[in-house]
Amino acid sequence: MHALGLTRMQLITQAERILNPDEIAKASALIERRYAGEPIAYIVGMREFYGLPFRVTPDVLIPRPETELLVELALARLPAKARVLDMGTGSGAIAVALAHTRRDASVTAIDASPAALEIASTNAAANAVQVEFLHSDWYGALAGRQFALIVSNPPYVVAGDAHLQQGDLRFEPVDALTDHGDGLSALRAIITGAERHLTPGGWLLMEHGYDQAAAVRELLASAGFSAVQSWQDLAGIERVSGGALHYRHSRESDGRPA
């Protein structure tokens, strides 16, 4: 379909069509790239997420179905006309999905990669949504700003994990996959800084690795979050953990009376 510029129906109805040499060459070149292991999303430059099309390049992670759980949990906890922050937005998939579903929300998305922000901005425009994109190393560019909800799919693969040299991960931006440490440093930074940027009672939701749920729950509880829990993806893996910023904790932390 991509090589010939055809829709699925056209591909079916033209099944007996004889390809010309240029078409054969174009299709063969794409097949060779796939044979070498390159992800289809990078070959065709597109991946669907939450029912929306997203442009993707090797500058951003390929949006994955399991991350839709994070979007669903966020939508269920996002108050009317509230501000929401997507940290490490990459292709913009989470931020754009939230903005598209909740037109009343004010969505801000950050990333440390200018290339990723360019792609994310393109995806927001292509899906006709308004998202504020900021170049920021985690909370660096957000001084004084607060949100009712913070979401993130940060780098969480442990340095040296064998999966980084397997499958699609070989082609994806390594800095978006791993923290080059124990896999929890980005999650720690997000949790530690969230108190200053969440409104009282606001939720923090984060995607993490298949074996990190217990550690992330402990980090959240130690930081004073309440209603701390983890949620399973469709494969039965605890994929997202989060909690609400306790009202009393948030007051005490800035010196105001509870």
Q: What is the mean pLDDT of the chain?
A: 94
Q: Give the pLDDT score at 139.
A: 97
E strand residue ranges, the chain: 46-49, 52-55, 83-87, 106-111, 131-135, 147-152, 198-207, 225-232, 238-245
Sign of the dihedral defined by the CA atoms of residues 65, 69, 71, 72, in that order: positive
What are the φ and ψ backbone dihedral angles of 244, each rounded to 5 degrees?
Answer: -105, 140
Report helix, strand and coil shares of the chain as percent, to nearest 5. 40, 20, 35
Give me the residues of the chain with pLDDT under 70, please.
247-258
The predicted model scores a pTM of 0.91
Q: Give the pLDDT score at 257.
A: 38
* Residue 27: Cβ-neighbour burial (10 angstroms; 0-12, 13-18, 19+): middle
Pick the CATH number of 64-253 from 3.30.420.40, 3.10.450.50, 3.30.70.100, 3.40.50.150: 3.40.50.150
Q: Give the pLDDT score at 247.
A: 63
pLDDT in tens, 181-236: 999 999 999 999 999 999 999 999 999 999 999 999 999 999 999 999 999 999 99
Q: Give the pLDDT score at 246.
A: 78
Tell me the C-alpha distance between 71 and 95, whole Å.
Answer: 9
- Supply angle C-alpha 48, 172, 112, rounded to 5: 90
The answer to whether 134 touches 87, Cβ cutoff 8 Å, is no
pLDDT in tens, 155-166: 999 999 999 999
* Beta bridge partner(s), residue 83: 106
* Beta bridge partner(s), residue 167: none
The answer to whether 86 touches 152, Cβ cutoff 8 Å, is yes
Q: What are the sequence ranges of the domains in the chain?
A: 8-36, 64-253
How many angstroms separate the most distant Cα atoms in the chain? 77
